Chains A and B, each alone.
Chain A
Amino acid sequence: MCVKQIPDPATPGALDGSTHALKRDGKLILDESDAYGVEMALQLVTTAGSGEVSIVSMAPNGEMSGMRTALAMGAAKGVLVSDPALAGSDALTTAKVLAAAIQKMGAADLIIAATESSDGYTGTVPEQIAEVLGLPSVTFAKKVEISNGVLKADRQSEAGYDEVECPLPALISVTAGVVEPRYPSFKGIMAAKAKPIETFTASDLGVSPAGWAGAGQKIVSVAQAEARQAGEVIEDDGTAFNKIVSFLENLKVI
């Protein structure tokens, strides 16, 4: 399971003044959208009756607290790729790094990721990992089952969903709401502290150039967007619906 540790979404995001990168120097937490994939992985292992869930993550500053949350939910172990040289990496480099880490861990039957992170939302990393590893993939899966080494998934489409079948090993990206993530129990939180997290650098994995040097893109400007002006705000005294109706009449909607 690939997870991202992100700044707490409850605190407003900010960009670094010189690099224009999203500031990630504070405490990082498990991206909420990854909790669904962790839960899915745990349930698939339970159904299969054997196997274990490993967590893979990349962070520039050695942060592990988000990974511990996934371990507390029930994952067995983790691999963290941490390297200051990775700061500023684009999605393609991120995918190469995570793919190399997954290979380092040994043969996985199934690689799971969220469809996109909640902070950067590039949304390309899962499919890029599949391509790097030469695997088939089912992205935007909203229902997943495995039997006899074959994965069946309902894949979100513009107009509904497609039923897709895919042999293992494979990669899937899962949408939020695919399963109900469990809350880590106290026992799980305690046990997670002792679970192993192995750490690698980008060069350990043979990925270069990483970080800003390998990004293939640079930010040239950051500007304020034209702000939308707030209009009239009224407290409902039991007659506010009349106000809405006259508003709609003025707009000639009714």
Chain B
Amino acid sequence: MAINSVWVFSQAAGGAPTTGTLELLTKARSLTSNVVAFVGGDASAIAGVLGEYGATKVYATGDLAGKLPGPAVSAAMKAVIDGGDSPSVILFPQNYEGRDTMSRLSVKLNRTVLTNNIDIADSADGVVATTPIFGGNSLVTAAFTGEGPHLVSFRPKSFAAESAGGSAAAVVAAAVPELGTTGTAKVLAVHLEESSGPKLDEAAVVVSGGRGLGEASSYSLVEDLAKLLKGAPGASRAIVDAGWVPYSYQVGQTGKVVKPAVYIAAGISGATQHMVGMKGSKTIIAINKDKEAPIFGVADLGIVGDVHKVLPQLIELLKSRG
């Protein structure tokens, strides 16, 4: 089973394609020369970069006018497929809009989905995708057994984004058909929770805090240390669920995947759910009271100690050095 064409569910933020989109385009062009970027929204401003990273054609729905992308973009994709242009594989990012669109499309096309993957290949078993399980200790490779288009989603940072030096791709309109009741949810307002400093999933240094901090007010230690190291503060799911910090701080299976040069885990035991999101860091430093904590199994430097003692000492010393 050969891969003849690949679509990439493509997103933009701040007038540029997202890093995740460029990662998937880079992978797509290693599978086939026939790479199509499918944009839920207006694509005129981003077609240049999409082409540079390997898209030879761009489908764009145009402004969604407050409709949620899940029902709208999946319906637009279905219309193009029904019109005769059916790809072998559609790549989605493992994020809110990617998951919703893939889910809706899977029902419309009656196709299975493979999610949370880190790799894809065209093999003797057909199209196969690989996903890490048990916190990344095992890798499961699964093959699609039915007809395409195969729907598959990928964790962030599964592939490195590299420009192919391609020229701007032609934009073709892919209008959203009448959605009926599925399209009745409307976005009334958009709220941004932008933090100052580098973005969590792009920072060279990430300092994350967990339940071991004891109380919400101690999280300022994590923020102070992150700032001194020009890094971003992160969090375990436990303290996000407890309401200490917003969800956008969460590192892990259900949060962000980070691969910084240095990851400092303060008061984090290392639940599977967390480890999945940070195990790809180049260097890991862990501070935790419990010497049996799983986090020490992946740490390059582990300090068995109290974060309330170690962090203030560390912050003081770094401040004194200027």
Contact = CB atoms under 8 A, between A and B. Distances in A.
Interface in B160-183: 180-183
Interface stretch (A101-109, A163-171, A197-205): A163-171
B107 interface: yes
Interface stretch (A64-72, A74-82, A119-127): A119-127
A25 interface: no
Given A220-B125, A223-B141, A161 B112 contact: no
B303 A156 contact: no
A233 B296 contact: yes
A234 B304 contact: yes
A227 B136 CA distance: 9
**Residue in B114, B142, B299 with the greatest tally of chain A CB atoms within 10 Å:** B142
Interface string A204-241: 00000000000111111111110110111111101011
Contacts of A245: 314, 317-318
Interface of A is mostly: mixed
B142 A128 contact: no
A139 B136 contact: no
A221 B141 contact: yes
Interface in A152-180: 154-167, 170, 175-177
Interface residues of A, number: 80
Contact of B190 (A127, A162, A167): A162
Contact of B248 (A90, A159, A241): A159
Interface stretch (A41-49, A52-60, A130-138, A187-195): A130-138
B68 interface: yes
Contacts of A254: 229, 318, 321
Interface string B225-246: 0000100000001001111000
Contacts of A91: 106, 112-113, 115
A165 B74 CA distance: 20
Contacts of A126: 103
Contact of B141 (A128, A176, A219): A219
Contacts of B305: 235-236, 240
Contacts of B253: 121
B247 A236 contact: no
B31 interface: no
A147 interface: no
Interface stretch (B39-47, B51-59, B83-91, B94-102): B94-102
A131 to B, nearest CB: 4
A136 B183 CA distance: 6
Contact of A158 (B13, B70, B102, B138): B13
Contacts of A160: 190-194, 248
A123 B100 CA distance: 9
A92 interface: yes
Interface string B195-224: 000000000110000000000000000000
A234 B302 CA distance: 6
B128 interface: yes
Interface of B is mostly: mixed
Interface residues of B, number: 93
Contacts of B114: 217
B252 to A, nearest CB: 11
Contacts of B273: 118
Nearest to A132: B107
Contacts of A24: none
Contacts of B314: 241, 244-245
Given A122-B113, A161-B191, A233-B304, A228 B313 contact: no
B65 interface: no
Interface string B16-48: 000000000000000000000000000000000
A115 to B, nearest CB: 7
B197 to A, nearest CB: 15
A20 interface: yes
A62 B214 CA distance: 41
Contacts of B194: 159-160
Given A158-B13, A230-B302, A164 B68 contact: yes
Contacts of B297: 228, 230
Report the 6 A-B pairs with minimum CB-CB distance, sorted nearest first. Answer: A236-B305, A216-B112, A127-B103, A233-B302, A231-B300, A166-B185
Given A224-B139, A228-B298, A248-B229, 12 more contacts: A123-B99, A131-B108, A136-B71, A139-B99, A162-B187, A163-B189, A163-B191, A222-B140, A231-B300, A236-B304, A236-B309, A248-B262
